[in-house]
Structure 1
Amino acid sequence: MSASSQQRPLYLAEQVRELDRRAIADERDDFALMQRAGEAAYETLRSRWPTRERLSVLCGGGNNGGDGYVVATLAAAEGLAVQLIAVTPVGQLTGSARHAAILAQEAGVVVVPWASSLTLEGDVLVDALLGTGTQGAPRAPFDTAIACMNATARPAMAIDVPSGVDADTGFVAGEAVRASVTVTFIADKLGLHTGAALDHVGDIVYLSLGVSPAAHTDMVPVAWRQSRHDIAEGLPPRSPCSHKGSHGHVLVVAGGPGMGGAALMTSEMVARLGAGKVSLATDPAHVTASLTRYPEIMAHGVRGTADLAARVEAADVIAVGPGLGTGAWGQAALASALAAGKPCVVDADGLNLLASEFTGERRNDWILTPHPGEAGRLLGCTTAEVQRDRRAAITALQARFGGVVVLKGAGTLIFDGETLALCPFGNPGMASGGMGDALTGIIAGLVGQTESLSQAARLGVVIHALAADAAAEAGGVRGLLASDLASYARHLANPH
């Protein structure tokens, strides 16, 4: 996979620290980069809260704390009331951070040592406590300072990364600042965009400070942040001479006894995303409902592998798993789908059966779409372990099962064995039943229209998330249903 021109590269913290070291070496001035970072952070703060006149700036050690001292100095120079709090004592600072603290004091800003009894006076808080080099739960006194900031419920700006958030994984081990905006420098960090970090970062403002990560060819991005422009690049206008056979025949194998809704939602999404033909193999009890709701979908009642044989043979792509069940019907259906040797999108109970009954399966012609719980079952670990390091989890899944893996959740990841993509779209309204079934249908519908399974997965995730965002904008996140996405997804799949 090659990244599109609109995608943003994402890096690990150590890579960014190396870029920082190189920039300082090029300038031969340790303080110049810190000065630019502080100025950029202060400009962001003033543009975000132009009428706020009181700041509480909490500074730790290292460059992150130094940035905070620069912000405090600039704010005081403009006449703002600044409460400057040293959580790391000034006497322990070294290098540029110490220089920045001294400049703040020379400018007349009073530095107040941290104490848990302090009252934060600012109507905007600045988090300059812990930088990208910290991992694990913050230790004292940072943990109490962070808790104090969060307890105010006032808006906060985090410098580079919210203190307590792991910049590589997005994991939050203990207390972490809940920022309204995070200003991040030099290069964007993977951990700001996935997992628990999304409850803490607020709006992310990326500022390069004049450093070009792309100019350092030995510094390979760990992931790429997707863009809505990917859709237009991946789904060009159709040829006037195209026909239904040109865009794939998708067979949806879903809806075991008593679970017909999943089959209907998946099938509808396949059709709305433009597959040429859509067939549904489901429990016979669901056929009438399917024909009534979607006469365009060829619904077939199946009782076992014999009924499925002709259906899988005729298909180009198979979507299997939603509402499948893990009993005899589901096991027979998955066995038939996998035996066909066709590209597959596997979700829900299809994944649960892979973990329990079809162990040892590995292939390069499928897309697996687990949520963290399903990912844990596939890897033999807990959901919490998956969420602790989502990049490590998806890498392990792809190495174990092959193909393309989509690890769903806040900051969905897509990995094809070579390139990791991250979807920055989506909203909390997607935490409702059927959303995964909709994604399965969207991705399966795109397989016959794209260049690769990897591209189908990446575009499917973006369209799914953006459709949910559009539906939430129209009606709010509460009560958002998977079936609400269909019309928006169709619109997004026609970007020209």
Structure 2
Amino acid sequence: MSHRNDPLPLALYRAAQVRELDARLIAAGTPGFELMQRAAQAVWRALRRRWPDAREVTVLAGRGNNAGDGYLLAALAQHSGWRVRVLAVGDPGQLGGDAASACAEARAAGVAIEPWSECAPLRGVLVDALLGTGLNGAVREPYAQAIRLANASGLPVLAVDIPSGLCADTGRVLGVALQAELTVTFIGLKLGLYCLDGPDYCGALVFDDLRGDPALLASVAPAALRLSAGSLPRLAPRPRNAHKGLFGHVLLVGGDLGFGGAALLAAESCLRSGAGLVSLATRDEHVPALLARRPEVMARGVQSSFQLQDLLAQADVLVLGPGCGQGAWGRGLLAGLGALDKPQVWDADALNLLAAAQLTPPSGNWLVTPHPGEAARLLDCTTAEVQADRPAAALALARRLNAVVLLKGLGSLVATPAGELYLCDHGHPAMAGAGLGDVLAGLLGALLAQGLDVAAAARLGVWLHARAGERLGRGGRGLAAADLIETLRELLEEHSPCLK
């Protein structure tokens, strides 16, 4: 999604909330038809900015208010001398209310309105005014056919409010969805534009509040908030006489045979992200390699939980799971650690062991970092069900575990047991590789060690991690997890300078 420098709001809403905002604007004195006119004008401005030399537009219209926006856009283009056609996929005779008035205005302007046909030629910029935000089930014919042919046309597509076929609440493609180059959305940003398939289908994003009263628009609490540099917690500057004891001691437990790299990545990330002291409990076989690469990490080979006792007594924060496996070694080390009254990060196989009822979780003050498959196991559902509504899954898991949940993936989500939800809309496809979750776990441990609470650490950590991947992703494929660690250090310094 190419909206990084756009002044977009942070609040994200579900479709029902946006409908409520629309109703409140009307009840406060702005007629619905006037809001529709403002929406059409916003689309027209965006269309001309994006394609100033197009001079031709084909509007694909349905039979709801989304179609009304399209008909009014067609009238504006007609008045400006553009070549304009509306292909009515929804019968104009079934339009009602403001949408019917918009269709009448388009006719009065001389716009050619033709019934949809698979043989109808598509020309110019295609304006998607088909289905809008109210869609819940799979797209039906003839809408599905129109979407398929528009996608196959190779023509630029502007979506009105949301690409048709995309669920406004979850970002799920409902059978088929229109692939937009530009989406102009109104009143409130829809959560689905940022989740799952949303960023791949909406293209560049333009927002217009339709000149609604800011106080009224703020009267409905959003479903989620996007993370931004200005809204994130910051680490305090360090005093000149700082010493390692002021910035926490993190103990990482992980790295069964064959998985030592995961533990090393987490430990190095923790060290580079500012933890005062970092200890790693791992397999004996991994200690020489770990010390050769990162001698600052206090690596100890352990075979049983008894050997952890002195390390646990010294630790302020625990990071459990990177590379620990699900065998007897990992189970034995992690058993009982949930009862310790220390901030904890649970990752990877710690979560799989928890889902299998092999471990007892903490009662609070902990953070879990599942990918969708791990979240599904913890919720006793399928990965497809988690992905079908990622925001709902994250919130449900936070309530079930009484933990802060960082659900990884496109549009990573941070959910709290109190029902707060945050979304990170940064990242890069080059991050699709092994070990990046281990780097994130170590970073989160370091932020906790430096004084952030679990919810604040999750918000700042996921944002730093995604921004690092975004910065390095410019180099393309082949991004290695270890590449992120130095960039995380740079970004953390940019965000929270070590000195005043």
Q: TM-score, normalised by structure 2?
A: 0.94
**Residue in 2 that maps onto 1:133:** 134
- Give the AA of the match of 2:170: T
**Residue in 2 that maps onto 1:353:** 353
For the residues of structure 2 that align with 1:450 and 1:78, how far apart are their CA atoms?
A: 59
Correspondences of 1:165-244 after superposition (within 5 Å): 165-212=166-213, 214-215=215-216, 218-231=219-232, 233-244=233-244
For the residues of structure 2 that align with 1:381 and 1:389, how far apart are their CA atoms?
A: 12
TM superposition shift of 1:132:
1.2
For the residues of structure 2 that align with 1:147 and 1:359, how far apart are their CA atoms?
A: 49
**Residue in 2 that maps onto 1:30:** 32
Q: Does residue 417 of structure 1 match 2:448? A: no
Q: 1:92 aligns with which of 94, 105, 109?
A: 94
* 8 Å Cα contact 2:256/2:329 also seen in 1: yes
TM superposition shift of 1:26:
2.8
* 8 Å Cα contact 1:308/1:336 also seen in 2: no
Q: Does residue 462 of structure 1 match 2:463? A: yes
TM superposition shift of 1:52:
2.1
* 8 Å Cα contact 1:312/1:337 also seen in 2: no
For the residues of structure 1 that align with 2:102 and 2:451, how far apart are their CA atoms?
A: 53
For the structure 1 residues 381 and 101, does the alpha-carbon distance in structure 2 shift closer, same or farther, using more than 3 Å as the test?
Answer: same
> What percent identity do the matched residue pairs reach?
48
* 8 Å Cα contact 1:334/1:350 also seen in 2: yes
For the structure 1 residues 212 and 489, does the alpha-carbon distance in structure 2 shift closer, same or farther, using more than 3 Å as the test?
Answer: farther
Correspondences of 1:152-167 after superposition (within 5 Å): 152-167=153-168
**Residue in 2 that maps onto 1:373:** 373
For the residues of structure 2 that align with 1:32 and 1:6, how far apart are their CA atoms?
A: 23
**Residue in 2 that maps onto 1:17:** 19
Correspondences of 1:285-296 after superposition (within 5 Å): 285-296=285-296
TM superposition shift of 1:255:
0.7
* 8 Å Cα contact 1:136/1:172 also seen in 2: no
* 8 Å Cα contact 2:9/2:189 also seen in 1: no
* 8 Å Cα contact 1:7/1:226 also seen in 2: no
For the residues of structure 1 that align with 2:478 and 2:487, how far apart are their CA atoms?
A: 16
For the residues of structure 2 that align with 1:6 and 1:303, how far apart are their CA atoms?
A: 52
Q: Does residue 447 of structure 1 match 2:448? A: yes
Q: Deviations over 1:47-97 (max 9, x none)?
A: 122222322211112211111112212222222222311111111111111
TM superposition shift of 1:411:
0.6
TM superposition shift of 1:8:
0.9
* 8 Å Cα contact 2:180/2:201 also seen in 1: yes
* 8 Å Cα contact 2:429/2:473 also seen in 1: no
**Residue in 2 that maps onto 1:109:** 111
TM superposition shift of 1:43:
0.7
For the structure 1 residues 348 and 258, does the alpha-carbon distance in structure 2 shift closer, same or farther, using more than 3 Å as the test?
Answer: same
TM superposition shift of 1:362:
5.0
Structure 2: runs of 5 or more not aligned: 1-6
- Give the AA of the match of 1:42: W
Structure 1: runs of 5 or more not aligned: none
RMSD of equivalent CA atoms = 1.8
**Residue in 1 that maps onto 2:480:** 481
Q: TM-score, normalised by structure 1?
A: 0.95
**Residue in 2 that maps onto 1:433:** 434
* 8 Å Cα contact 2:13/2:223 also seen in 1: yes
For the residues of structure 2 that align with 1:441 and 1:214, how far apart are their CA atoms?
A: 41
For the residues of structure 1 that align with 2:424 and 2:186, how far apart are their CA atoms?
A: 21
TM superposition shift of 1:339:
4.0
Question: Which stretch shows the higher mean deviation, 357-366 or 36-45?
Answer: 357-366
Question: Which stretch shows the higher mean deviation, 292-301 or 339-348?
Answer: 339-348
Q: Deviations over 1:7-55 (max 9, x none)?
A: 7111121111111122223335331111110010111111122222322
For the structure 1 residues 75 and 218, does the alpha-carbon distance in structure 2 shift closer, same or farther, using more than 3 Å as the test?
Answer: closer
* 8 Å Cα contact 1:226/1:421 also seen in 2: yes
For the residues of structure 2 that align with 1:248 and 1:145, how far apart are their CA atoms?
A: 59
For the residues of structure 1 that align with 2:192 and 2:252, how far apart are their CA atoms?
A: 35
Question: Which stretch shows the higher mean deviation, 217-226 or 486-495?
Answer: 217-226
- Give the AA of the match of 1:257: L
Question: Which stretch shows the higher mean deviation, 235-244 or 311-320?
Answer: 235-244
TM superposition shift of 1:420:
0.6
TM superposition shift of 1:217:
5.7
**Residue in 2 that maps onto 1:150:** 151
